[in-house]
Structure 1
Amino acid sequence: MPAPPAPPVREERPFFAIGLRLAAMFSISIMFALVKLLDTRGVHLAESLFYRQALALPFVFGWIMFAEGAGAIRTRRIGTHFSRMALGLIGMALNFSSYILLPLTEATTIGFTMPIFGTILSALLLREMTGIHRWSAVILGFVGVLIMVRPDAGHFPLMGVAVALSAAIVTAVIAILLRELGRTEGAAVTVFWFTLLSMPPLSIGMLFFAQPHDGVTWMLLALMGMFGGISQLFLTGALRWAPVSVVLPMDYSAILWATAFGWLIWNQWPLPTTFMGGALIIASGLYIAWREHVRTKRIREAADASSV
């Protein structure tokens, strides 16, 4: 009896994936800068959330139609998608608020504490084994936050810092949920259902907060939604062509873009403590990602050895 054919090996294009991830970070940075700019033009947070999702939906659906076909949006886990939607809206509202309350660079840097909270939550909720290496990285990251924020110095509003840290915690919870959802659902389909299911509650919010705007503001809202949708597609595409361990370090390029936009638009330049604390947060996140890569590789090798 002939042996069954081996499963096709997925082609990897690491340099292309890195380029997509860098483009995604550039698009996300533009989106958050526009959120902050729109706030100065009187756009309510509820409006920004609605237009971010409504204008991104055609891009996401068009990508699925082009890459996989309409049948790819079928799901048997609509309840889990609802949970992801609820958490996603909370996380998005907190993230948008953090960029409104804080300078761009500081909001972006604090957002990169997400892997730190992800490690803590994985240990507490999923009972994952977490050794001294990752706990040391967690401590290093929190030291970086303290150096950057300097709560005794009054450099930044404590409310903004609290909102940014809350956003990172909620994003870490979402990452755990997505890890479980990703066992059966593709990334593009998950993005589609999140975007689609978020429209009814956001539409209800618009009944209370929608307001007229001038032409420039409408153009900025359209750009925010467009770059939000494009960033989702690029993030998804990057993971299609290379593993997470290859593309994840590119995420920290967002700090460069946030610094540039903060200087060009608001004439804000980060404090020296932001660079020092940010370096520790980045080092912590990269080390946690590397240890996760090593752990996953060992699990895979053990599974392959047991199947021989």
Structure 2
Amino acid sequence: MARSNLSLPLLAALLGVACLSLMDAFMKGASLAVGAYSAALLRAVIGAGIMLPVWAVAGLRRPPPKAMKLHAERGVVSCFMALTFFYALTKLPIAETIAISFVAPLIALYLARILLGEEIRPTAIWGSVLGFCGTIVIVWGRLGRSDLDQDALLGLGAITVSALLYAYNFIVIRRQSVLAGPAEIAFFHSFVTAVILGAVAPLFFVNPDATVLSHTGAAAALTVAGSMAIAWAYARAEAQYLVPMEYSGFLWASLFGWVFFREAPAPATILGTALIVAGCLIAARRKRPEQTMV
């Protein structure tokens, strides 16, 4: 297998995480207004509408059965992952919600070993453990200064379920990326979610106002951009190199949480972020460029 430069895949993954973190901020506002279900459905419908012409320009083709199966699998996983995550955002601050979700990349590293057969380097293990320790510091600081009321417990439960689904989602992305292009992946990601959520729309959908529509529209565009960037990256590098980039999401979440909701990070949050960034750098590090082939 040819040697590969990791710089572009790492940057693409970082850009994808930034887009998705900004999307979270827009979706928190929309979810608070009309509920997580309605906001998630609107995002999926708009996202599919954006991606259909993009996919057509990229070379519309009928996916082979194996790819279609993965598109459907990821759509189902992503549907419930998004619902639980957006619900958690209505109960917890953005930065803390994303911090807790960082357990997903840690789990994904080992799922990649079990399900994809990827060899995990010691630096990737230690970097992920350090990033996870940073997450624990953040969560501990949050719980230490906040009462655990019913809303907080519901939010913690929802983000735990979302994180487990997110970990498996990484594995499906890796499999998808070797069978389909980013445009196709991004379209079916939104389309399958829209179909699943739309099935119960008569029971749960809340009509949005102009502000909610604009927020979900921006969220849909950011989801498409982030998904395509991450799909492009995962097609060119192993999961163990890219997964640690997810930890940078906390930095973006802290920024967007402050800008949109005035959610200032606590001292424990700052310390945990430092550990997370250090973990990212360690996990992405290689001994020499020529020693690693993907």
- After TM superposition, is the score higher than 0.5? yes
Residue ranges of structure 2 left out of the alignment (5+ in a row): none
- Per-residue deviation, 1:210: 1.4
The answer to whether the 8 A contact 1:49-1:92 is kept is yes
- Counterparts of 2:213 and 2:178 in 1: how far apart (Å)? 39
Which residue number in structure 2 is paired with residue 76 of structure 1? 65
Letter in 2 for 1:76: P
Instruction: Find the aligned partners of 2:132 and 2:100 in 1 and give their Cα distance.
Output: 10
Q: Structure 1, residues 65-84: CA drift from partner, whole Å, max 9, x if none? A: 22x3112x432222332222
Q: Deviations over 1:42-92 (max 9, x none)?
A: x121111111111011222222222x3112x43222233222221121222
Give RMSD over aligned pairs.
3.7
Q: How does 1:153-164 map to 2 (within 5 A)?
A: 153-155=144-146, 157-164=152-159
Distance 1:294 1:85, change over 3 A: farther
The reply to whether residue 34 of structure 1 matches residue 26 of structure 2 is yes
Q: What percent of counterpart residues are identical?
A: 21
Mean Cα deviation higher: 132-141 or 213-222: 132-141
Aligned equivalents of 2:99 and 2:241: distance in 1?
20
CA 1:185–1:252 in structure 2 vs 1: closer, same or farther (change >3 Å)? same
TM-score by length of 2: 0.78
Partner of 1:53: 44
Q: Greater CA radius of gyration, 1 or 2?
A: 1
Q: 1:297 to 1:54 in 2, by over 3 A?
A: farther
In the alignment, structure 1 residue 109 sits paired with structure 2 residue 99:
yes
Residue 223 to residue 145, structure 1, CA distance change in 2 (3 Å): closer
Letter in structure 2 aligned against 1:184: L
Contact 1:113 1:281 in 2 (8 A): no
Equivalent runs, 1:124-163 vs 2, <5 Å: 129-130=119-120, 132-150=122-140, 153-155=144-146, 157-163=152-158
Cα offsets for 1:89-135 (capped at 9, x unmatched): 12222222232222122223333333211123334555655465444
User: Which deviates more, 129-138 or 24-33?
Assistant: 129-138
Could you tell me whether the CA contact under 8 Å between 1:115 and 1:288 is conserved in 2? no
Q: Give the deviation of 1:27 after TM superposition.
A: 3.2
Task: Give SS of 1:212's match.
Answer: coil
**SS of structure 2 residue aligned to 1:198:** helix
Q: Is the 8 A contact 1:46 1:205 kept in 2?
A: no
Q: What residue in structure 1 maps to residue 79 of structure 2?
A: 89
> 1:166 and 1:120, CA in 2 relative to 1: closer, same or farther beyond 3 A?
farther
Conserved? CA contact 1:112–1:285, under 8 Å: no
Distance 1:140 1:176, change over 3 A: same
Per the alignment, do residues 120 and 24 of structure 1 end up closer, same or farther by CA in structure 2, a change over 3 Å counting? Answer: closer
TM-superposed CA distance for 1:189, in Å, is 1.9
Structure 2 CA distance for partners of 1:233 and 1:185, relative to 1, 3 Å: closer
Structure 1 unaligned blocks of 5 or more: 1-8, 301-308
- Which one-letter code corresponds to 1:195 in the other structure? S
For 1:124 and 1:29, locate their aligned partners in 2 and report how far apart those are by CA, in whole Å: 28
**Partners of 2:197 and 2:290 in 1: CA distance:** 38
Residues of 2 paired with 1:80 and 1:264: CA distance?
37
* TM-score, normalised by the number of residues in structure 1: 0.75
